[in-house]
Amino acid sequence: MPSGRLHWYFSRLAGQISNPGSDIGRLPFANITTLSVSHSTSSDSRVWLGALRGAMRFDSNATDIDAWRVFNSARYMPTRQSIVNVSSLAVLSRTRDAPSDLGSAAVVVTNRGLAIIRFEMWTLAQKADYFQKFFDPPSRFVKYGLVCGCLMSSWGDIRTCVKKPCDSDGLWTTIYLGSQVFRYAVTHDVEAKKEAWTYFETLELLNKVTGISGYPGRSVANRSDFPPKPRWYPSPVYSDLQFYGDTSSDEIVGHQFVHPLVHDLLAENDDERQRAYILILNITTHILTHDWYLIGENHNHTRWGIWNPLQINNDSYYQETRGLNSLQIFAFLLQTYAYSGDERFLNAVNLLIQSYQYDINLINQKMIAVCDNSFSDDELAYLSYFNLVYAFHTITSSTRLSKEQRHRAQDLIDHLLPYMQIGLDLSHKYKILEKTPFYNFIYCYASEQVNVTREATLKKGFRASFDCDSLSKDGVWFLRRWTLDPIEWQQFNSDRLDIQLNVPASKCQNEIQSLQLLPPDERSIARWNSGMYDVDDGSGWEALDPSSFLVSYWGMRYFNLLGA
């Protein structure tokens, strides 16, 4: 390599520290120890740098968000610490006769060992197939048909990862089931139907094991698995089972999100559709007949199973979730009405509007205070937006409901839509910054910009604030940068020079957060309910099931936001 070219690279890269406004971005780490470039005969503008805190790659031909790539945690480097001290780098570029899917590789020598970073060219479909295999039995992310992450007994060794009961086993299972329903609707693969139905039967069990109609357990286990412990109760129905109680609104949202999809897209006969319908009906009936509460095993309402207007509207403790819970209950009631035609549910919607102003609550669904940015609530909100709009379309296209019923329901839909749409757009002013495929595909659906809703507009006059062509590109970028490694490796991004820390949010959340979004493969892997701006999270002791990727990929496929 000519020395002049080497000096030119150093000049441009070093300039980032003194000139952060440069068009090639900012250098992630200082204390550079080595530099390497490709020796390929083909054109390659990428430069690799080693530093005390890891390796970096700069590509002058990439977009701003992809120009710098950082490899600085145990996901890439042989260390548990932030200091790794790269002493040398070698870039191994593909030859002209190499397979087309083989990319370049870098060999990184550090004071803690050797790291090899290899790139391959994959389609998103290949990536989805790769993640789907994580659920092949015996899956470390599945036990008793319930999906969740797993815990490792040996640091960083996924072979030792074992699934334990999770607080939200039911919710994570509904997310995975949703991905499989979309997958089946796209591919019509018999194996996809079989896979999905297995997990639906697990959700049926959660609804039966408590012995309380419309009250599903959070999780289930054999009584012999562990001795009695808090919030676990022996099943009054199955003598060999126990269930995890105090079920939250999170679980209910998941059930009510996925069962309509099972009913319409997965079930193939009246018996299968009836099984999905019964679960929808029982849950909503339970809430409606128990004074807008979820009443559990102790004959009291659960901690978070609350939709009662007197508490939601009048108790300041619930002011942050007032809009969220209003959105949820409207979705439950209208979805159940769409399938049952039972006027109790439509009358209940009208009551919540006329007497308790739940329609107005929808406007401020997302609270925007710095210290109250709840990513968990965001996930529940977008699942509920999906469910509510899905209910709207089920009603307007229903052949079960009479003309008079559809007309009466349409009046309420026309009334609710403007409030819902304002709240949705206000929410997405924040979610758009995260570029997530999950939130973006649901926004596209709820704002009537995708295939099934373009042909059946609910109400003319609404203009979405965000264009789905742009949102889809962001979603593709996020899926492309999603790491293949499911381990939640500890990250050390607060040391980086190219991010600004969000000091107020960091103090409120008791976790260091950034103002800029880092790519998903430079953060610890997380679900959609986790903080997107956390910079130093992860531990190396847990692994996460890939259902968050799969529901986003197949959701985008189903709504034609990815193409083939």
Model's pTM, two decimal places? 0.93
State the Cα–Cα distance between residues 501 and 241, nearest whole angstrom.
Answer: 48
Residue 518 within any structural domain of the chain? yes
Domain that holds residue 519: 491-538
Residue 73 within any structural domain of the chain? yes
* Domain's final residue, options 121, 149, 174: 121
Q: Residue 192, class by beta-carbon neighbours within 10 Å (0-12 exposed, 13-18 middle, 19+ buried)?
A: buried
* Domain's final residue, options 103, 121, 139: 121
| Residue 457: per-residue pLDDT | 57
| Residue 326: per-residue pLDDT | 98
Residue 36 within any structural domain of the chain? yes
Residue 18 within any structural domain of the chain? yes
Contact yes or no for 532/516 (Cβ under 8 A)? no
| Residue 42: per-residue pLDDT | 58
Residue 275 within any structural domain of the chain? no
| Residue 508: per-residue pLDDT | 82
Low pLDDT (below 50) residues in the chain: 1-24, 454-455
Torsion sign across C-alpha atoms 205, 376, 432, 477:
negative
The tokens of 8 are what? Answer: 């030119």
* Domain's final residue, options 106, 121, 136: 121
Residue 252 within any structural domain of the chain? no
Residue 66 within any structural domain of the chain? yes
| Residue 104: per-residue pLDDT | 79
State the Cα–Cα distance between residues 35 and 33, nearest whole angstrom.
Answer: 7
| Residue 373: per-residue pLDDT | 79
The tokens of 100 are what? Answer: 């087309």
| Residue 461: per-residue pLDDT | 61
| Residue 101: per-residue pLDDT | 58
Q: Which residues are paired to 234 by β-bridges? A: 242
Q: Structurally, how many domains does the chain consist of?
A: 2
Residue 318 within any structural domain of the chain? no
